[in-house]
Amino acid sequence: MSTLHPVIAEVTQRIIERSRPTRSAYLARIDEACGKGVYRHRLGCSNLAHAFAASGSDKVALRGTVTPNVGIVTSYNDMLSAHQPYEPYPEQIRQAARLVGAVAQVAGGVPAMCDGVTQGRAGMELSLFSREVIAMATAVALSHDTYDAVLMLGICDKIVPGLLTAALSFGHLPTIFVPAGPMVSGLSNDKKSKVRQAYAEGKATREELLEAESAAYHAPGTCTFYGTANSNQMLMEIMGLHLPGASFVTPNTLLRDALTRAAVYRAVAITALGQEYTPIGHLVDERTIVNGVIGLHATGGSTNHLLHLVAVARAAGIILTLEDFDALSAVVPLLARVYPNGSADVNHFHQSGGMPFLIGSLLDAGLLHGDVRTVWGEGMAPYRRMPALDADGKLVWNEVTASSNLDVLRPAAEPFRADGGLRVLKGNLGLSVIKVSSVPADCMVVEAPAVIFNDQEEMLAAFNRGELERDLVAVVRFQGPKAIGMPELHKLTPPLGVLQSRGFHVALVTDGRMSGASGKIPAAIHVTPEAIDAGPLGKLRDGDVVRLDAVAGTLEAKVDPAEWAARPQAVADLSAHHSGMGRELFAMMRNAVGGADTGVTVFGTRDRHHAADL
C-alpha cells in the first residue's frame, strides 16, 4: 500500500476539523448507550416476556443472559426484484445463528419502493422521502433494545441510505449489511436504450418496448446497470460494511447462501459479548466516509449519493460538503466502465475482478484509506480478495491481482479518465452537480437559449410537438424537495438523447434529480436553492442564454446583473403534486426538508444550522 495521496489526506483532515464538535457529541451519545452483557436484560421481566413470547425453541436462549440476539431488519417484498430474494433469509439467518450459539429475530420490516416502477409517475415524488421513512421505521424496529447486533437486508436506491442512517442512530450496535446480488445478465443495456430511443422517436411500438424492457429486467436481483442500487452495494463494500467481495454475487446460489451464513457468524463475533466488539458508530468515521466518496468517483457511481452520503455522514456527526466531493474527484481516476458509463453491466464488472481488484488498485495507488476498521476486522487488505467455494463447498477468499477485462475495469495507473467525472457547478443560477464520466468531450460546454418548463410532462409534450429541434438548455424547475419531493427525471433522457444525436447542442438544468442514468446528456442537477425556495432558477425566462461549463465548473445565466436583480421570482401552481398517491401525507416532509447541499434530509436541523456556521 502506497502513501496516502496528499489531497485525500488534506480533505479528510478538513472534514475531521469541521466535524469535531458534532462528531464528539455523537460519539459521546452512542458510547453512553453501550452496555455489558445482552441488551435485552436491561428490560423488566414483563417487557422481556413480551420479547420472546412467540420465539418457540429459542425461548430458553432468549431467557438466558449469555446468548447474543441478532436483529434482522428486512426490506423484502415480492415486487422489487432486488429484494424478492430476501424472502427466505430470516429462517436461514436463524438457523445460522443457532450454529454459533446465538439467536436471531426479525426486528421489523421497512418499505422498499422501486424507482423503476414509479419512474415518471406520481409515486416518484415520494421516492426520496422514503429514505427518511425507512430510517424511522428501522429506528422503531430497533427501539425495543433487545438486540446485540443487526443484519440489514437492503439493496436499492433509498433503502440502503435509510437503513444506514438508522444504524448510525443506534451506533452502539454492530451492524452488517447483507446483500442479495444482481440478476443474471439479460438484454444488454445498450440494446435496451436503443429501443427506448426508437420509441421516443415513434419508430418502435409499445409492445416492442415492453419486450425489450422485459428482456432486460427479467429475474430476481438488482437491475444490472450501474445506477443507485448497485452504487449502494459498492459503497457498503468499500466502506467495510459488507463482507469482502459480497456485493455482486448473484441470488439463489450456493456462494450467495454461504456469504449470508458468514455474515451471521461475523455479526455474532463482533457483539459486545465477544473480543472484537465493533459498534458501527465507531467503524463509520471520517476516513470511511471519504472512502465511500472515492469509490463513487472511481466507479462513476450514481449522483444520488451526493445527497445520500452527505445525509448519512451527518447521522454520524460528520459534516461532508459538495466541495469535498469536488476536491476528491480531481484526484481519483475513473477505473470502471459500467453502463451508463460503458456497455458492460455489473456482472461483467464482477467477473473482471470487481470490488476486490478496484479496492486493491486504489490501495496500491495511495488513493484509499487502508487503515480503517471494517466489519471483517482491521484494515481494507481483506477486501482485495474474492469469495469462492472450494472443492468441499467451504467458503474461501482468493486475492485478485489483475483485471480480466481492461475494457471494463482498469488499474489506477491506466484509468479510463484521470478524474472521477463528478463536478460541482457554481454561478448565478446557484449550486449544482454534474456527472460527466460518459458525456462526450464536445458536449462539456453548452451555451444556448433556455427553454423553461415547470413540469417534466410539459417538456415531453413540447418534444412530441417538434418544438425543441434546436440548440437549447432545457430548464425543468419546481422539481426540488420542498416543491414536489425531488423526483428523478429519467423520462427526459430519451428525448434529450434524440436531440443530441441529431446534432443539436442540448443540456438539462433542474432542481430535480437524474440519478445514475443521465448518461451522455450534460445535466446540471440538484440546483440549490431550489426554485420554490427563492432559488435563481425562478428568475430565468425563455430565451435567456445559459452557459453550462463542466470544464470551468460554472452554471451561468448570461443576463445583465441589474436586470437579473430586478426580476421577480416565477411562481407555479403545484397543488396537483401535493395530493393523490399518498402525497398529501408527506406535506410535513416537504415543509421540513433541507436543501440538496445538506443531503435533502429532515433530520438534524440544528446540526445543519450549526454546520453552516463552522
What is the arithmetic mean of pLDDT over 233-240?
98
In one-letter notation, the amino acid at residue 220 is P
Question: Which of 17-21, 55-59, 475-479, 604-608 is least confident?
Answer: 604-608
Q: How confident is the model at residue 325 (pLDDT cuts 50, 70, 90)?
A: very high
Q: Is 156 annotated as a binding residue?
A: yes
Predicted confidence at residue 200, as pLDDT, reads 81
What is the arithmetic mean of pLDDT over 476-500?
93
CA 553 – CA 425 distance, rounded (Å): 5
Tally of residues, the chain = 614
In one-letter notation, the amino acid at residue 126 is L
Q: Detail the DSSP E strand segments found in 200-303.
A: none
Q: Is 114 annotated as a binding residue?
A: no
Predicted confidence at residue 201, as pLDDT, reads 84
Quote the mean pLDDT of the chain.
94
Q: How confident is the model at residue 354 (pLDDT cuts 50, 70, 90)?
A: very high
Predicted confidence at residue 116, as pLDDT, reads 85
User: Do the Cβ atoms of 459 and 476 come closer than 8 Å?
Assistant: yes
Residue 546 has pLDDT above 50, yes or no: yes
Q: Detail the DSSP E strand segments found in 261-394.
A: 373-374, 377-378, 385-389
Residue 274 has pLDDT above 90, yes or no: no
Residue 182 has pLDDT above 50, yes or no: yes
Predicted confidence at residue 613, as pLDDT, reads 36
pLDDT digits (tens, 9 = 90+) for 128-139: 999 999 999 999
Cα dihedral sign for 364, 365, 371, 374? negative
User: Do the Cβ atoms of 252 and 537 come closer than 8 Å?
Assistant: no
Q: Is 537 exposed, middle or buried (0-12, 13-18, 19+ CB in 10 A)?
A: buried
CA 82 – CA 178 distance, rounded (Å): 12
Longest dimension (CA), the chain: 77
Predicted confidence at residue 38, as pLDDT, reads 86
Q: What are the helix (H) ranges across 316-453? A: 322-329, 346-351, 354-364
List Cα–Cα distances, 389 to 92, 252, 395, 515, 604, in angstroms.
18, 14, 5, 35, 44
User: Do the Cβ atoms of 184 and 221 come closer than 8 Å?
Assistant: yes
Q: Detail the DSSP E strand segments found in 347-439.
A: 373-374, 377-378, 385-389, 395-399, 422-427, 430-435
Question: Which of 250-254, 339-343, 608-612 is least confident?
Answer: 608-612
User: Do the Cβ atoms of 61 and 99 come closer than 8 Å?
Assistant: no
163 grid coordinates: 437503513
299 grid coordinates: 466507479
User: Do the Cβ atoms of 189 and 183 come closer than 8 Å?
Assistant: no
List Cα–Cα distances, 126 to 480, 574, 580, 601, in angstroms.
12, 15, 11, 13
401 grid coordinates: 491481482
**SS3 state of residue 547:** strand
Predicted confidence at residue 252, as pLDDT, reads 96
